[in-house]
Amino acid sequence: MRILVGGVGYRFLRDESLGPYLADTLAPETRDGIEIEDLSYGPVALSHNLHERPPYDRLVLVASVRRGRAPGTIERYRWNGVLPDTTEIQARVGEAVTGVISLDNLLVVCGVLGGLPDDVRVVEVEPVEPEGWGDGFSAELEAKLPEIVEAVWTSTAP
């Protein structure tokens, strides 16, 4: 089974930099059949990249996303592949080509352009700190890192 684990997000945004941080941190722990990389370079380029590679059986995405949940909430789910209407898709593509990096953009744009495997799993974490610049995480998110890492590895299990 070929699995790609990808971190999504911007660097140096405190709790919102979780995806790239975990991609960097977990990359040395790559296991058989599992590749890990930072996928924060944009969904259009990612779609092209995925089309050029041998297909993956599963994609596991990890990101910090503000959705109004309790701070530090960890959610794991399988993406259902449902895409928004064409107006929303066009808005997401427009954001993508201007440099917006987000989990939702990646799913929508790659969902439209193709390249995603049928099995896409997501590990989302609600940031604790308000938006802001800087390195490192809030103490609360830092304490949850082992649980987040376990959620990522669990998402790679058959």
What pLDDT band is residue 132 in, cutting at 50, 70 and 90? Answer: confident
Q: What's the domain range around 78?
A: 3-156
Give the DSSP per-residue string, 66-129: -SSSPTT-EEEEE-------HHHHHHHHHHHHTT---HHHHHHHHHHH----SEEEEEEE--SS
Instruction: Report the CATH number that the domain containing residue 97 is assigned in CATH.
Output: 3.40.50.1450
pLDDT in tens, 70-128: 999 999 999 999 999 999 999 999 999 999 999 999 999 999 999 999 999 999 999 99
pTM across the whole model: 0.95
How many structural domains is the chain composed of? 1
pLDDT in tens, 133-144: 899 999 999 999
pLDDT in tens, 25-43: 999 988 899 999 999 999 9
